[in-house]
Amino acid sequence: MRALIVTENITLDGVIDATDGWFDPAGDGDVDQSDLEAELRTQREAADALLMGRVTFEEMRGYWPLQTDDPSGTADYLDAVSKYVVSGTMRDPEWDRSTVLSGALVSEVEQLKAEDGRDIVTTGSITLVHGLIEAGLVDEYRLFVYPVVIGRGRRLFVDPSETSRLRLEDVQPFHSGVVLLRYRRA
């Protein structure tokens, strides 16, 4: 069975969606991020499916296919990976290797997890991620914690008791001050 991995950029105060003001995950360019970029490449190589909500999907579809000189490898990865968008309104995803999932969330995701393949990654997509957490479908969390406090915005965990059901698997600091925390369900 494939693992469903939630990967998020998150602030010290737990915010993953800050509509009223976000931080720049890429930094100002003066900090060595080669170790962070290497980790992101490793994670991409372990996944062959990307699961997104409609808003995140549309934002990515509007940006990444237009990137012709992407040194990070993200554009090439997104071009090659199977993309699944959860939406009750979208009919044609208009992006190669994309499939719209319009059925019941739990059964759609359970079917994806039962298929042969590597990891399924979800990023952004806060409404979808909250639904996946509530349904108990998340196998692992990879949280890239940025040393920033913004004090407002939607948080990853709505129900604080969810964090008591997690087991820390790994901690990886990066030169930039970002720390990757990997948790699995206990």
pLDDT above 90 coverage of the chain, percent? 67
8 Å CB contact between 168 and 156: no
pTM for the predicted model, two decimal places = 0.91
pLDDT tens for each residue of 23-52: 665 555 677 888 988 999 999 999 999 999
Identify the pLDDT of residue 19: 67
Three-state DSSP at 71 gives: coil
Q: Report DSSP letters for 84-151, one per residue.
A: EEE-SS-S---STTEEEE-S-HHHHHHHHHHSSSSEEEEES-HHHHHHHHHTT---EEEEEEES---S
Angle at 133 between CA 100 and CA 114, to 5 degrees: 55
CA nearest to 156, candidates 10, 4, 3, 1: 10
pLDDT at 149: 85
Chain Cα centroid distance, residue 151: 22
- How does residue 134 score in pLDDT terms, banded at 50, 70 and 90? very high
Average pLDDT, integer, range 136-146: 95
Mean pLDDT value across the chain: 90
Q: In this predicted model, what pLDDT tens digit does every residue of 56-99 receive, in sequence order? A: 999 999 999 999 898 888 999 999 999 999 999 999 999 999 99
* Residue-range domains of the chain with CATH: 4-21+31-185 (3.40.430.10)
pLDDT band at residue 22 using 50, 70 and 90 as cut-offs: low
Give the number of other Cβ atoms within 10 Å of residue 130's Cβ: 17
Residue 164's pLDDT band (boundaries 50, 70, 90)?
Answer: confident
- pLDDT, tens digit, 9 for 90 and up, residues 96-123: 999 999 999 999 999 999 999 999 999 9
Supply the pLDDT for residue 150: 83
